[in-house]
Amino acid sequence: MEKKNIDWSNLGFGYLQTDYSYVSNYRDGAWDEGGLTEDHTVTLNECAGVLQYAQTVFEGLKAYTTDDGHIVTFRPDLNDERLAASAARLEIPVLPKGRFLEAVTKVVAANAAYVPPYGSGATLYVRPYIFGSNAVIGVKPADEYQFRILCTPVGPYFKGGAKPITIRVSDFDRAAPHGTGNIKAGLNYAMSLHAIVTAHREGYDENLYLDPGTRTKVEETGGANFLFITKDNKVVTPKSDSILPSITRRSLMHVAQEYLGLQVEQREVYLDEVKDFAECGLCGTAAVISPVGKIVDHGREICFPSGMDEMGPVTKKLYDTLTGIQMGRIEAPEGWIHVIA
């Protein structure tokens, strides 16, 4: 298969149309067969449930080329599980068993020409989503839904090395107690846009959101979970019902314990104790880990000993090990790598 003529290493993170998307419709109480489409537009009634009441959930994963030339995705079974949990919370019908993996496999295989070559640092970003598609005006779930997967090639997250970022403690919350913080729903992002735009305007890279109940504990940023490293090399991640369960974070915790022999802890992390950690990182599919050099809490600066020039040493080990596993340079735990071609 011939690759598209794309300057892979200079790609940004933007939408670039590929040849195929996947589409399946839910009508009369059942999902249809579904299949590939070359139509990249969606036509909806003006009153569609997604447009009026934001009834939509999504996932994000990447397809990439390993060391030995295979096209793979990383732990897509967990995206499947999480999409089902998100859908259930918003009264969206779950997909038939096996459908998610079948659809991801099909659409990535069909777009193989857009999967960047090994070593380019670029990946094919895969975005599955489900939305209420029929007209709804009274507040209730839609009766009809569409499940789509779009693919778009994206560039290396860190161009020229991973520079530590500066984040601020936000005065906005990203989730309500007992709300939807633990599902991947578009509505969680809509309400974070004002916070991120103002953070950028004020010179910060991201927002640190506190727990919405007491505003004393660390939750996550708009799209990534926290990892902290203690001065005695323990890996700590915040525990809360309103954090989105990141697959990258769960994988890194496993790697820390099983591959690096580090102690791991998932527990409540108070903002007051953050100054005592040695390293800090944000984890998510896009970057795997973005190192955090500084957290600013209303003028008070918390500077991690790892500094503003490079990733902390333990963060770096975690990053190298997980990316090594993903790329096929280090043996993966059973079931982590889903081979597509």
Ligand X SMILES: *Cc1c(COP(=O)(O)O)cnc(C)c1O
Q: Which residues are catalytic?
A: 184
**Residue 2 and residue 7: Cα distance in Å, rounded?**
14
179 binds ligand X (CB under 6 A): no
Q: In the complex with ligand X, which residue's Cβ is closer, 34 or 223?
A: 223
Joined together, the tokens standing for residue 82 give 């999480």
Range 57-116, binding ligand X (CB under 6 A)? 60
Smallest distance from the beta carbon of 281 to ligand X, in angstroms?
12
Give long-range contacts, CB 8 A cutoff, 24+ apart: 270-273: 270/216, 270/217, 270/218, 271/169, 271/210, 271/216, 271/217, 271/218, 271/297, 272/216
213 or 245: whose CB is closer to ligand X? Answer: 245
Q: Are the C-beta atoms of residues 341 and 109 closer than 8 Å to each other?
A: yes
Residues touching ligand X, count (CB under 6 A): 14
CB of 323: closest distance to ligand X in angstroms? 13
Report residue 317 as tokens: 């080990």
Could you tell me if 331 and 273 are in contact, meaning their C-beta atoms sit under 8 angstroms apart?
A: no
Of 62, 148, 184, 217, the residue at the interface with ligand X (CB under 6 A) is 184
Residues 254-283 binding ligand X (CB under 6 A) are 283
10 Å CB burial of residue 2 (0-12, 13-18, 19+) is: exposed
Query: Which residues, including other chains, have CB under 8 Å from residue 277's CB and lie 6 or more apart?
Result: 228, 229, 230, 231, 236, 304
Nearer to ligand X, 83 or 136 (CB): 83
Binding to ligand X, residues 23-62 (CB under 6 A) = 60
Smaller CB distance to ligand X: residue 136 or 287?
A: 287
CA angle 318, 320, 324 (to 5 degrees): 115
25 CB contacts (<8 Å, ≥6 apart)? 31, 32, 34, 133, 144, 145, 146, 147
> Quick one: 248 or 321, whose CB is closer to ligand X?
248
Task: State which of positions 208-247 bind ligand X (CB under 6 A).
Answer: 220, 223-225, 244, 246-247
Phi/psi at 324 (5° precision): -65, -40
Closest separation in Å from C-beta 125 to ligand X: 11
- Residue 96: CB minimum distance to ligand X, A: 23
Report, in Å, the least distance between residue 262 CB and ligand X: 19
Interface with ligand X (CB under 6 A): 60, 184, 220, 223-225, 244, 246-249, 283-285
